Structure 1
Amino acid sequence: MKTAAVVIWYNPEPLFVENLKSYAEHVDHVVVIDNSNTDNAALLADVAGVHYEALHQNLGIAAALNRGFETARQLGAEWVLSMDQDSSFESENVSLLLANIETASSDIAVIGYSETGSTSKTGLRDVNKVITSGCLNRMSAFSRINGFNEDLFIDQVDFEYCFRLKEAGFRIMQDRAVQMRHNRGDPEPKEFRGRSYTTTNYNPTRRYYQVRNRLYMRRKFPQYGMQHIKNIVYATRNVILFEDNKLSKLAAMAQGAWHFVIGRYGPR
């Protein structure tokens, strides 16, 4: 059964090539889709067999994933390992994750790693969602729901994809034994009135997408409760109490809410 890894780049650094090498030898093909304004193919000069495509503009994570998955399909891949540029595996963890392909029933569409992974827990468990990075994706399921939602551009692209797969009758799984190195924003621990908090320090544009897309998710998938509204509340609190550039971030968040109301999606 053929496999491919698809990784999305944006203004890549040499370290991201090392991340790619951590899983490249475990799959049949590696596809790099570059959302940068410039061509960065030179970074891959010493890495053989990589299919690189420069988009010369930022089309968003969803569009880049769709482009990468289509390339993987053309290469004959039945499963795609989706990766972020700042994510990497230890060799044994890639092997553990890929081993699930051999026993996956036909209704399993996505197999992700556990963000709180513990080797003391083994086996797959059903979950509602997993992040895109470090996931195995069944290509036939991807085709069934027409891929990722490009209207969202970035933020919630992975969870929206998982929720639509579940609506189509597929299962989302998590392998609790698999761990991966992955960075999220620029997290910073803070204290306020004796309590500890962690803020991601996302820039204003990311805060815009965060609000707009999570309001969209709450409306489209109300069965998953108030998690998206709670996230917006916590993010607003963190910006006000802990983060720099408060006015720009709050203005971007307000704009995101307004664009949700008027139905404006795609890039900001």
Structure 2
Amino acid sequence: MSAQTQTIAGIVIYHPDQANLLRLVGVLAPDVREIVIYANSAFSQQDEETLRAAAHGTDLSVMRPGSNLGLGVAYNVLLDHATKRGAPFLLLLDQDSLPPPGAIPRLAALHARLATAGKKPAIVGPRPTDWSGKPLRSPPEQEGGRDETKATRVQFVISSGSLVNCEVARAVGSFRADFFIDAIDIEWCMRANHLGYSIWMADDVLMAHELGRGLIRLPFGLLLTDQPPRRLYTFLRNQLAMLRMAHVPLAHKAKTLLALPLRVAAYLVHNRFSRETRNALWHGLIDGARGKLETRESVLGKSSP
């Protein structure tokens, strides 16, 4: 059995669109050993059976933690499951992504080529696009960024669509459960880079991905992801928490601090200074500065009036 067909795919869902989830399962099934759904919201047995039929014989199971424990917990549980099953790779996905058919063998082959070349890859991810096929903004490149294998070494990749080397992941350590959601992938990738591993984006593997509610376009070509107020809290809090982490590059910290006033102003204006937005940003600033992180779903209530 080849490495890519031993891959386990883990999909984290939260009130998903069933049609999109069915399509995603159908694309993944031919190229993985098993599909595991981690349900951070209620998911019926009937919907599970429908997904199992869409997998066409590929093992599919649903994990139901009973409440929304956040992405970090979900990733750690999925990684532990893949490790116990002896899988070389874990493919992380959320319900808002759709990789092309055959993406997993191509990402696994790139992993192998980079490993053979001594690059110590931790994660190889696709190049995300919007649903029209237009590439989304790329993360910063790392030194030695281009590779003859049509890959770019980057500071981080988004978690969805990322093929994680399970053995390397054990060395890098757990995903930040206390981040709950937002910047979990960024922090983990930066930690991996700091430990001597590398993060890569496959330039020729495109994956449709829905980023938040769209983009907010600012002067001078600047773009912000449009997020609901409750996500503004975790985004701001976690980015500020990363300022105290030694493995986070100084350039990223400087960029965070310089962009902070513009981000806050843009979100306030875009959301018409709503009370929910003001509360979310205020709590994010205060808790981020204090390093007060929570893992409970109640963290999303920080934006409530």
Structure 1 and Structure 2 fold alike (TM over 0.5): yes
- Indicate yes or no: 2:225 matched with 1:200: yes
Alignment match of 1:255 (pick from 266, 283, 299): 283
CA distance in 1, matches of 2:125, 2:195: 18
The alpha-carbon deviation at position 156 of structure 1 amounts to: 0.5
93-102 vs 17-26, which moves further: 93-102
Show CA shifts across 1:8-45 (max 9, x none): 01112212221222222211111111111x23343231
Q: Taking structure 1 as reference, are residues 104 and 86 closer, same or farther at Cα in structure 2, changes over 3 Å only?
A: same
SS in 2 for 1:42: helix
Unaligned stretches of 5+ in structure 2? 129-134, 137-147, 300-305
- Indicate yes or no: 2:17 matched with 1:9: no
Structure 1 match to 2:238: 213
Structure 2 match to 1:239: 267
Alignment match of 2:125 (pick from 112, 115, 126): 112
Structure 2 match to 1:165: 192
22-31 vs 228-237, which moves further: 228-237
Structure 1 match to 2:132: none
Show CA shifts across 1:123-145 (max 9, x none): 12211111101111110111112
Structure 2 match to 1:153: 180
The alpha-carbon deviation at position 246 of structure 1 amounts to: 2.6
79-88 vs 13-22, which moves further: 13-22
1:38-53, aligned counterparts within 5 Å?
A: 38-45=42-49, 46=53, 47=55, 48=57, 49-53=59-63
CA distance in 2, matches of 1:158, 1:101: 18
CA distance in 2, matches of 1:175, 1:249: 36
Q: CA RMSD in A?
A: 2.4
CA distance in 2, matches of 1:242, 1:50: 41
4+ runs deviating over 4 angstroms: 188-192, 195-199
Task: Return the letter of the residue paired with 1:39.
Answer: F
Structure 1 match to 2:28: 23
CA distance in 1, matches of 2:98, 2:221: 29
Show CA shifts across 1:52-107 (max 9, x none): 10111110100001011111122221111111111111214344223223323161
**TM-score, normalised relative to structure 1:** 0.88
How many residue pairs match? The answer is: 263
Task: Return the letter of the residue paired with 1:28.
Answer: R
Task: Return the letter of the residue paired with 1:203.
Answer: P
**TM-score, normalised relative to structure 2:** 0.78
Alpha-carbon contact 1:217-1:228 (below 8 Å) kept: no
Q: Taking structure 1 as reference, are residues 230 and 20 closer, same or farther at Cα in structure 2, changes over 3 Å only?
A: farther
Q: Taking structure 1 as reference, are residues 30 and 244 closer, same or farther at Cα in structure 2, changes over 3 Å only?
A: farther
Structure 2 match to 1:181: 208
Alpha-carbon contact 1:199-1:242 (below 8 Å) kept: no
SS in 2 for 1:39: coil
Structure 2 match to 1:127: 154
CA distance in 2, matches of 1:93, 1:13: 22
SS in 2 for 1:179: strand
SS in 2 for 1:114: strand
Unaligned stretches of 5+ in structure 1? none
Alpha-carbon contact 1:39-1:56 (below 8 Å) kept: no
Alpha-carbon contact 2:241-2:289 (below 8 Å) kept: no
Task: Return the letter of the residue paired with 2:87.
Answer: A
SS in 1 for 2:263: helix
The alpha-carbon deviation at position 234 of structure 1 amounts to: 3.6
SS in 1 for 2:275: helix
